[in-house]
Amino acid sequence: MRIFDRPGFPNPARIRIVLAEKGLDPLIEFVPVDLIGAEHKQTAFLEKNPSGVVPVLQLDDGTYIAEATAITEYLDNLDGDPKLTGRTPREKAVIHMMQRRAEADLLDAVGNYFHHATPGLGAELQAFKSPEWAGRQEWGHRQRDKALAGMTYFDTVLQNHPFVAGDAFSMADITVFAGLMFADAAGIVIPEDHFALRAWRAKVAELPSVKNRSGQMFVADDLRRLGC
């Protein structure tokens, strides 16, 4: 199997945590994609994923699977023990629900703020971020508020449960963790009084699959290098 991505970016990091959780790293060939140079917006990449984003998984039969959730579901089910996406109908539904909230209310909100209200990934990509839409920056700033509200929601959830979807580490935790990683890079700070969210983050950061995943470079390093 091959994964087209760029190490250190939040959505690729989700899959690298999954690979470490499932012990699948040895089966993967990583193919780097030049996000800064907008390689993912060119025809060759769009044929793999019309959405023009990474990561993309290529199966040995040539099938391309995009979307971190779909890739996670595929990898999690390979060994017949889908611990990250749910083993029972109830687990699957709760994890799916919380994952979706993490994506919509945190990770994607941060991403929208980063791409539309800050210099984002730099000049090459700006043309692909609808700069002509008047009010886009204002919308981007509202996405920052949305991400902060998402943090407050997950802080409340984690006051009552050890993990985002209940008692066990799951795909929903991975999405929240990636959202916070992206928030760091975008300069959105977890509010001081969100003790449960901060404690959960410190705990998850120490999990072997998170700590030892491949591609440790954080988005913040990239941003600093770019001078954003």
Residues at the interface with ligand GSH (CB under 6 A)? 9-11, 35, 40, 53-55, 67-68, 111, 115, 125
Of residues 43 and 160, the one with the C-beta less far from ligand GSH: 43
The least distance separating ligand GSH from the CB of residue 149, rounded to whole angstroms, comes to: 20
Plot region of 86 (φ>0 → left; ψ -120 to 50 → alpha; else → beta) = left
The least distance separating ligand GSH from the CB of residue 13, rounded to whole angstroms, comes to: 8
The least distance separating ligand GSH from the CB of residue 38, rounded to whole angstroms, comes to: 7
The least distance separating ligand GSH from the CB of residue 223, rounded to whole angstroms, comes to: 13
Enter the DSSP assignment of 121.
T
Do residues 57 and 65 make contact, with C-beta atoms less than 8 angstroms apart? yes
Of residues 125 and 168, the one with the C-beta less far from ligand GSH: 125
What is the spatial distance between Cα 115 and Cα 126, in angstroms, rounded to a whole number?
Answer: 8
CB atoms within 10 A of CB 166: 17
Q: How far is CA 1 from CA 7, 15, 62, 82, 120, in A?
A: 17, 13, 9, 19, 30
Residue with the shortest CB distance to ligand GSH: 53
Of residues 109 and 155, the one with the C-beta less far from ligand GSH: 109
Sheet holding 56-58, edge to edge: 29-32, 2-5, 56-58, 64-66
Of residues 7 and 166, the one with the C-beta less far from ligand GSH: 7
Of residues 13 and 204, the one with the C-beta less far from ligand GSH: 13
